């Protein structure tokens, strides 16, 4: 009887794709009710695919937050786009998000080109409607409908949680019936080590400028829990491409690195519900964004 009930729910995978910096990670965090994907005002913050698990009495939606679709040139950016494009072939529904404050792209220069031939139901998600006058929204809708035959469209504000309540019911119309793919009590399949490394990287995006965030990678060297002290000790390395970037990350008297570490530690303690000792190191790995072997060590190209 239990198996029969489980097989009657709506269960499937949704790919959250779109251009950089349109609010994909903000939406995933909003739907989960907790922070899984890192966010910053800078484009291309998300580098890896993040899986979020949304549960209800009659559904389980596996949502994949992906790097932004963009014209890539470096090996790192090419891997990021490859991750997003691979997702399009592995999902039941495509959730294509755009920022309504950006101009509708021309037909020959639009990420919707990636959707052609996907043969998946597609939902157009028009984000940041709180920043646009209502009378200006209709031309945006019409513009995207001319670019691609979306199955439906939903205007939302992920930041303000406006319209997000109707998103899941709309997605369920396109999802198959089946069993739950994950236990109901976990919000993601990402490891704590991965999320911690992403938190540190987010703070670098927030506290540094220009090319610095894009030239950094974070690796967790050790992750040790001392239950007797109620303390988790984490050592992490921030990789940069050149010595000048190392100096900027560390800052005068180490102040910038302390600022990054303090902000990261606060989020990590909220995530793990434990006190945390976080030690950050900065090392130079020359031209790592172009080093295919090092990118594999970071989990790209697998």
Contacts of 262 (CB under 8 A, 6+ apart): none
Structural domains of the chain, with CATH: 2-172 (3.40.50.300), 192-297 (3.30.300.20)
Per-residue pLDDT of the chain (302 residues; tens, 9 = 90+): 345 454 579 999 999 999 999 999 999 999 999 999 989 888 889 888 999 999 999 999 999 999 988 888 889 888 988 888 888 889 999 999 999 999 988 776 677 888 887 889 999 999 999 999 989 999 999 999 999 999 999 999 999 999 999 999 999 999 999 999 999 999 999 999 999 999 999 999 999 998 999 999 999 999 999 888 889 999 999 999 999 999 999 999 999 999 999 999 999 999 999 999 999 999 999 999 999 999 988 888 65
Cβ neighbour number for residue 230 with a 10 Å cutoff? 9
Q: What are phi and psi of 194, to 5 degrees?
A: -65, -45
Q: Which residue has the tokens 């090092």?
A: 294
**DSSP sequence for 250-300:** H-GGGHHHHHHHHHHHHHHHHHHTSEEEEEEEEEE-TTGGG-HHHHHHTTT
């Amino acid at each position: 009887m239990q198996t029969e009930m489980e097989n009657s729910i709506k269960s499937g995978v949704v790919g959250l794709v779109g251009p950089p910096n349109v609010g994909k990670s903000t939406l995933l965090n909003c739907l989960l009710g907790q922070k899984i994907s890192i966010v910053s005002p800078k484009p291309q913050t998300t580098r890896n695919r993040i899986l979020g698990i949304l549960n209800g009495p009659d559904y389980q939606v596996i949502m994949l937050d992906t790097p932004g679709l963009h014209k890539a040139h470096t090996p790192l950016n090419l891997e990021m786009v490859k991750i997003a494009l691979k997702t399009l072939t592995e999902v039941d529904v495509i959730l294509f998000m755009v920022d309504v404050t950006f101009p509708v792209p021309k037909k020959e220069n639009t990420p919707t080109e990636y959707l052609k031939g996907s043969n998946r139901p597609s939902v157009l998600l028009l984000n940041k409607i709180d920043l646009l006058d209502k009378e200006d929204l209709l031309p945006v809708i019409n513009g995207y409908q001319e670019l691609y035959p979306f199955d439906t469209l939903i205007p939302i504000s992920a930041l303000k949680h406006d319209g997000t309540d109707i998103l899941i019911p709309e997605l369920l119309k396109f999802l198959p019936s089946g069993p739950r793919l994950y236990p109901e009590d976990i919000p993601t399949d990402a490891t704590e080590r991965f999320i911690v490394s992403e938190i540190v990287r987010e703070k670098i995006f927030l506290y540094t400028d220009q090319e610095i965030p894009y030239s950094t990678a974070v690796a967790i060297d050790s992750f040790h829990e001392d239950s007797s002290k109620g303390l988790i000790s984490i050592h992490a390395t921030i990789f940069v491409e050149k010595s000048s970037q190392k100096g900027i990350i560390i800052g005068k008297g180490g102040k910038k690195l302390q600022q990054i570490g303090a902000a990261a530690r606060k989020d990590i303690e909220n995530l793990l519900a434990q006190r945390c000792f976080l030690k950050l190191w900065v090392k130079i790995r020359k031209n790592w964004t172009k080093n295919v072997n090092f990118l594999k060590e970071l989990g790209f190209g697998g």
